Amino acid sequence: MGLNEIAQRVRQAAERAGRAPAEVTLIAVSKVQPEERIDSVLGQGQRVFGENRVQEAQGRWSARRDVHPDLELHLIGPLQTNKARAAIELFDAIHSVDRPKLVDTLARLRDETGACPRLFVQVNTGAEPQKAGILAADAPALVERARGLDLPVEGLMCIPPADEAAEPHFARLAALAADLGLPGLSMGMSADFEAAIAHGATHVRVGSAIFGERQPG
């Protein structure tokens, strides 16, 4: 499909929803993609990328950042507390804040380093036991904990269950974000980003539709 077509579809979806296209950030999910595909998408002008693993992202982006200082990197996969310092050093946004211990660790590291990426609280809207994310009922307390520590909480993130319609989950996340006064909504992937934009997504995470199918790993 490719970057240009996806970017056009993002713009059109925003316009259909009565929103300015600039309100929606397209995150190109580059996890486990071959290096030549990433360089191709970079060459087409894309500068916002998403990664699942801190260590993989370090190896991939440290040198490229020297060449492209306008890169914006988003961590969209689970974050272990022992990788939090490296994540703070590398990423501009973390979409997977989902537990009090991680909030406390990020606050401590912010105090030590003087820096913290923009944060999204990941909500497990489908209450799936195998999936990361805090339950919706517990999200307000986690957001308030982060706010109490003066962390830059920008919004909420979700990954709807694969076997359910995504739209109700997008609507649930949008309503929760509105209740909490959070402007950011990280939701929508290759198969459903247009529906997510219709429900107010500010960040959509698109991988295979831009790069092609991921490689094993």
- Say how far apart CA 142 and CA 152 lie, in whole Å: 13
Q: What is the pLDDT of residue 177?
A: 98
Domains with residue ranges and CATH for the chain: 3-209 (3.20.20.10)
Q: What is the pLDDT along the chain (217 residues), one digit of tens a residue?
A: 799 999 999 999 999 999 999 999 999 999 889 999 999 999 999 999 999 999 999 999 999 999 999 999 999 999 999 999 999 999 999 999 999 999 999 999 999 999 999 999 999 999 999 999 999 999 999 999 999 999 999 999 999 999 999 999 999 999 999 999 999 999 999 999 999 999 999 999 999 999 987 655 4
Q: What is the pTM of this model?
A: 0.96
